[in-house]
A and B are shown apart, each in its own frame.
Chain A
């Protein structure tokens, strides 16, 4: 139960931090912000790796894990690369 409370506290504090951070992002960068947060949400890759790589699980679980790894990797790789591509355009003068 203590762990749950800790996780919940982490969740709530992250929400508040998110509000503080995101409201400071200028409208100019809203599109890269969205693709960048797409990349961050690819953090589900961490959970996907555990599901795809476990040897003791039924095949179905590994199969779902494979799909999850694929989708999350698209988000991570695609998200960071396209964000970098856009931000580089804003950087040059």
Chain B
């Protein structure tokens, strides 16, 4: 195939990716955008397959079959509540693909044919000229080193993120020395990149980068707790894109660079949005410390004798009179698989003429937009899913707020108690509503480990128990009223 035609098709593919993401700016055009993007992918793959240097299709067919079956099975079977796990795995596979491409490119340019694993470590007499003319050879080597580094970190980091989300790994582990330990690993890996660039035949260097980066990925994510996963997933998403763009520099491939940088920026922007929504810096999330609270707050002191609990049918009586209700979902709704039950409760209220909206905090759930997807699955129209900034001014005119499985994002200490670890975090001002109903298993604290004064307020009712069961009981009581 003529290289000019290939480049032209890559350009068209790049345009289709851009139009695809542009389509995502509105729910109505999003499906079409996704289709355009997939079309771009198909074109890029087909034109590459016609490349004259591809002589042997056996491995390609095998890989596409295996990957296609795994990918399609995952995509069609996965539950919406488990979407963070799916995205974590996809991030990891993306990093793994860039990692293996960079390694393949390195060993093919090296011009040796390693016969055993020991040969992988045998130094080879090679110069930067093996990888390209003049500065291009050096740039290719730097790109190989960095792609391997970022790809490997993304691979293992994402698998740890998956294990945490799937609750296979419940505890947090870290290197002794915390951030310092990680920094030492990172510097060692970067030193190996430099060694590789200085002596391109130094196969020990490239294998060291792989090993160090795989470990670094583990140690980076292992200390991070579940509720910080939205940031971690978004960041790893960005890494997988950056690795792809760097792989583009190795291969001199334009479409990899365009697509990789779009993904890289997407992940970074989402990371930043999540950090702002938690009022924490990226370093603070990554190196795992919630700010140390000034005065320790005693949960018993806040709750003692002030918490009012209620049964679902009592809440239903309150809902009968309400003109406007806001439902605030959190990760607990996902855990209880209560999204359909919540929609049915909303239907029952709307049938009585009550106005119902949903208030969505940016970090509710385990990944950006998690709650929206769950509620969309339950067929809640997306115009009822209201962002924090738009829902907050409406709480004063709201008769009842129903909080299901959310805690820290409603904690008024973030607004009022200076010196509290979460002070300054933007929250949903649910306490401004006339009545607040909290559906929760117990008074146990959320991820921040803080008591929530909201639970002890005069106008707050606690409904203890399983979220789904409680909501269904409310719906039943309301429909019988």
Q: A: which residues have CB within 8 A of B?
A: 1, 3-4, 7, 10-11, 14-15, 17-19, 21-62, 64-93
Contacts and interface: CB of A to CB of B under 8 A. Distances in A.
B114 to A, nearest CB: 5
Contact of A1 (B120, B134, B248, B369): B134
Max count, chain A CB within 10 A of own CB: residue among B78, B103, B258, B376: B376
A52 B63 contact: yes
Contact of B59 (A69, A72, A76): A69
B98 A66 contact: no
Nearest to B98: A44
Given A47-B101, A50-B251, A91-B27, 8 more contacts: A1-B134, A27-B369, A29-B27, A30-B372, A36-B33, A37-B263, A73-B68, A81-B76
Interface string B20-33: 11101111101101
B126 to A, nearest CB: 14
Nearest to A29: B24
B90 A74 contact: yes
B51 A50 contact: yes
B421 interface: no
25 contacts: A25-B25, A26-B27, A28-B27, A30-B367, A30-B368, A34-B270, A38-B240, A40-B20, A41-B259, A42-B97, A48-B100, A51-B104, A53-B53, A57-B104, A58-B107, A61-B104, A62-B59, A64-B101, A70-B66, A70-B67, A73-B66, A74-B70, A75-B94, A78-B74, A85-B76
A51 to B, nearest CB: 4
Contacts of B103: 64
Contacts of B112: 58
Interface stretch (B38-46, B174-182, B322-330): B38-46
B356 to A, nearest CB: 16
Contacts of A44: 94, 97-98, 101, 244, 247, 256
B263 A41 contact: yes
B267 interface: yes
Contacts of B260: 41, 43
Given A15-B265, A42-B97, A78 B71 contact: yes
A62 to B, nearest CB: 6
Nearest to B365: A31
